[in-house]
A = this chain, B = another copy of it.
Amino acid sequence: MASLASPERRRRSSLPLAEVVINDNFWAPRRRTVRERALPYQEQRLRTGGQFDALKLTWKPGDPHEPHPFWESDVAKWIEASSYSLTTDPDPLLEESLDEAIALLANAQQADGYLDSYFTLVKPGCQFTDLQDAHELYVAGHLIEAGVAHHQATGKTSLLDVVIRLADLIDRETLPGGRIEGGYDGHEEIELALVKLADETGDQRYLDLGARLVDNRGKQPYYFDLERERRGDEGWADQHFPDRTRRRQRYREYSQSHMPVREQREVVGHSVRAMYLYSAMADLARELDDAELGEACEALWQDLVSHKLYVTGGIGSDGSIEGFGQAYELPDLGSYAETCASIGLVFWAHRMMLLTGEARYVDVLERALYNGVIAGASLDGTRYFYGNPLASDGGEEREEWFEVACCPPNYARLMTSLGSYMYVRDAEGLYINLYASSTARFSVNGHGFVLTQKTDYPWNGRIDVTVEADEAGAKMALRLRLPDWARGARLIVDGRPLPGEPVNGYLVIDRSWGAESLVTLDLGMEAGVVYPNSRIQATLGRVAFQRGPLVYAFEEIDNAAPVRQLVAATDAPIDSEEVVSLGVLGISLDGLMRSEQSGLYSQTPPVFRRTRLRAIPYYAWGNRGLGTMMIWLPAAHSSPLGYESGQCSRPGSVIDMMEQLGSPTIVRQ
């Protein structure tokens, strides 16, 4: 089916998933684990947990497995993730399972197109009466994404037809006279799904519906107030307790419906909902050439990256709302940072890059992907974190599954569709956004190209890219992202250094290509200290460590003590060495260990002891049993002389100084 967007207004697009083959040592094993373990496990949970059974519409009150309001979204995310997987890795048995599930979904669909077995079975008559909480459009959104992915993967229209009927129903009901006229879902999702449906079907109506839902949001009188009045379930306490009045306003912010989205300038509320909304806004800005929506997106992005982003790419520090705190409110212990929110940030960042062609969005995407997202899954791919704390007092463990099972299938669908985030094409050429050994096929100016990356990224900053054009002299602009963490990058094309400043964060090679060219990018990957803005109260006087895109974490098991006792020396040289048990590159440096103390507050100073500090990539934490973990260590304020200048004849580090002064608070080893 045809694309709606003209080349002008959709200049950039992801390479189709089928055209990208990932064959590296970092992502490929993760993707294999998702295919071989996660997807079958999820299917089994859906079969035994009641989700499949509910779709038979035979459940009666009193039966086990009472349907849950958003069970269909679990089924949909599994179908979507599986469809992406089928695109790159055909699997007839999996395809049969999808057919079975899709037949069940078709069975559960009502004559008018409605599809949500909870309301059909458990609360008939309550359909579309509580968009604030009931998640019906959210469920529809995931079904639509699944329908599009399944159609793209298999060419079958079995699910696409179902979701078209569902989208058409929602379209009718949101128009004047419809049951949810002026409405929108408390949990965004359908808006970005409708953009995909419009692209897949070429039907402008779905873009219009998506735009309508986005623009209904936050208009006064508030839709959630109107539907509450219609339901008549407002209690006396709701009216009279100030905390509940505040709660209602807080709920609006929670669901990004406190003001029209075009006026929003601050990222607030439930972080997954926010990411899905902003993703849809970025999509619509691009598809509809809507500059005002694009400006809102940019302002929201600036707020996020300037005030509310964890160093891991985690977002949403306030667990009580699964969402954003105030500006600079970024505690490490007790941080929330839901896995799904970082996945949502990947969605949004990618769309912002498509909208603008700027690499700075991908810098954040990469930060989220290599830290906040993949920390959500265990190294063996079978257990998950719902939230991803930046520090642990030893009580956190990944789990197999969750009552609200959003994270495992969300992680699965990102992993199986990872190829579509690596490469972006436009009329002039190709952007390389992510580095990993892989092959990409694409056409520019009527010429076919094959591009191959070979690299040990993220362990090594050297990336070898070979480019083959289908005939000599084929013009193509190759843009290689220069990550924000890189210092002193070198670009070599066919053996010759290529100087030049980055454009929009990309090193550009705009030339004619021939049979095979070799491009080498060396990003000079060295471990270094990260200093937090002092407005972040939680990490005041502390530092973190980063190497390439990876943020490092100190775990108790590597440091022989609760990590809250560690103090980092910011001038100490940092060594890198493989941690064989985890298959990662760890770092180590000199530092101090302070004594534990009793009581909450003491007049007696602690005692410091010299020690070797060891850290592993954050994403790999929590894979060796329970124990304390921290990213941000208190820093000994110190001179960068000594270690770095080689003037070791005089004391150069705070550790040395403290020892040489014979301080009674330092224990000599």
A residues neighboring B (CB under 8 Å) = 68-69, 118, 123, 126, 130, 133-134, 233, 235-237, 240-242, 305-307, 309, 311, 320, 326, 328-334, 391, 393, 403-404, 485, 487, 528-538, 540-542, 544, 546, 562, 564-565, 567, 570, 592, 594, 596-606, 608, 634-641, 650-652, 654, 657-658, 661-666
Contacts and interface: CB of A to CB of B under 8 A. Distances in A.
A657 B659 CA distance: 13
26 contacts: A69-B240, A126-B236, A306-B599, A328-B393, A333-B537, A393-B537, A485-B603, A487-B603, A530-B603, A531-B597, A534-B562, A534-B564, A534-B565, A534-B597, A535-B564, A537-B564, A541-B635, A605-B640, A608-B637, A636-B637, A637-B654, A639-B665, A640-B664, A650-B661, A651-B661, A652-B661
Contacts of A333: 329, 537-538
Given A531-B601, A565-B534, A541 B637 contact: no
A598 B306 CA distance: 9
Contacts of A662: 639, 641
A403 to B, nearest CB: 5
B639 A663 contact: yes
A666 B333 CA distance: 31
A403 B242 contact: yes
Nearest to A367: B601
Nearest to A126: B236
Q: Describe A's contact surface by its main secondary structure.
A: loop
Contacts of A570: 605
Contacts of A661: 639, 641, 650-652, 657
A603 B236 contact: no
Contacts of A329: 333-334
A264 B458 CA distance: 50
Given A133-B241, A534-B565, A640-B664, A603 B334 contact: no
Given A534-B564, A541-B567, A605-B531, A305 B600 contact: yes
Please indicate which of the listed interface residues A403, A540, A651 has the most CB atoms of chain B within 10 Å of its own CB: A540
Contacts of A601: 311, 530-533, 544
A367 to B, nearest CB: 9
Contacts of A638: 658, 663
A638 B126 CA distance: 67
Contact of A307 (B133, B531, B600, B636): B600
Given A654-B654, A657-B657, A661-B651, A130 B537 contact: no
A62 to B, nearest CB: 15
